[in-house]
Chains A and B, each alone.
Chain A
């Protein structure tokens, strides 16, 4: 085992949590991501992918989840596979082995930072950050749009709204979330 210590996208050893009257913003550093894009005309791709994931790949704008993995749609014939980081440090290699040349798989884990928003003010905060109709998004819906000029995935999960943005701008994204949370919830 190597002895290198990871840091979170916000540059700390532990994940940051910010609490407002009706909102919690929690940095989530412990998820692994790999993109999965079908090769041209590979008919066996979906079968292989679902055999590995344990569920059918979700349709446009949707996500699906099984016991070990989740996946969400990111583009035509393209998905992001999501799993706990522990045990899946090299998620891309696992996915790649499973789909065997029927898809292109790329490690995306550290390309992104992730914040889970929960609490009553979640929608009110998000509607001041992005143009997605977050109120109408059902659990499992995913869309990609801009927050503070940053392309972000907005993923509604059970109980939390997950915002996944570019890792190098984690500080800016967090700052935007915090400012807006203050706008909506006020400061104590």
Chain B
């Protein structure tokens, strides 16, 4: 597979390490009343879509960027790639 790195262009997937669902960016608030439940869901419950899936890839052998890759799990078509840091900021992870 080729991942179209937002900075570096198409790179072979063998340079990357896969983590999983990009929902892992949404780490719950540790002080929430139901923090334990939220963390349980965050850590253990995943959708397993046949189709588009947003997922985290780490460019370990490259520039060390974490990327959010939108990939079709059926066709492997990759429709969108963003720096995870930008995604995290857009999703309100800024402190």
Residues of A at under 8 Å CB distance from B?
A: 60-61, 74-76, 78, 131, 143-146, 151
Q: A60-B8, A143-B8 are in contact. Are A75 and B63 (CB under 8 A)?
A: yes
Is B77's beta carbon under 8 Å from chain A? Answer: no
User: A60 contacts B62, CB within 8 Å?
Assistant: no
Please report B residues at the A interface, Cβ cutoff 8 Å: 7-8, 11-12, 14-15, 60-65, 83, 85
Nearest Cβ in chain A — how far from B16, in angstroms? 11
By beta carbon, the residue of chain A nearest B10 is: A133
Instruction: Known contacts A60-B8, A143-B8; decide if A75 and B65 are in contact (CB<8 Å).
Output: yes
**Which residue on chain B has the smallest CB distance to residue A143?**
B8
Contact B61 A60 (CB under 8 A): no
B7 engages A131 (CB within 8 Å): no
**Closest 7 A-B residue pairs measured CB to CB?**
A75-B63, A146-B61, A151-B61, A60-B7, A131-B12, A144-B62, A75-B64
Contacts of B11 in A (CB 8 A): 145
A74, B7: Cα distance in complex, Å:
11
Cross-chain pair count, CB within 8 angstroms: 33
> Which residue of A has the minimal Cβ distance to B64?
A75
CA distance A151 to B14 in the complex (A): 12
Given known contacts A131-B14, A145-B15, A146-B14, A61 and B8 CB-to-CB distance under 8 angstroms = yes
A60-B7, A76-B83, A131-B14 known; A145 vs B61 contact (CB < 8 Å): yes
Given A60-B7, A143-B8: A74 in contact with B15 (beta carbons within 8 A):
no
Which residue of chain A is the closest to B5 with respect to CB atoms? A60
Q: From A76, A143, A145, A146, give the contact of B65 (CB < 8 A).
A: A76
A171 to B30, CA, bound (A): 47
| CB pairs A–B below 8 angstroms (25 shown) | A60-B7, A60-B8, A61-B7, A61-B8, A75-B64, A75-B65, A76-B63, A76-B65, A76-B83, A76-B85, A78-B63, A131-B12, A143-B8, A143-B62, A144-B61, A144-B62, A144-B63, A145-B11, A145-B12, A145-B61, A145-B62, A146-B14, A146-B15, A146-B61, A151-B60
When C-beta atoms are compared, the residue in chain B nearest to A76 turns out to be B65
Across the interface, which residues of A come within 8 angstroms of B85, CB to CB?
76
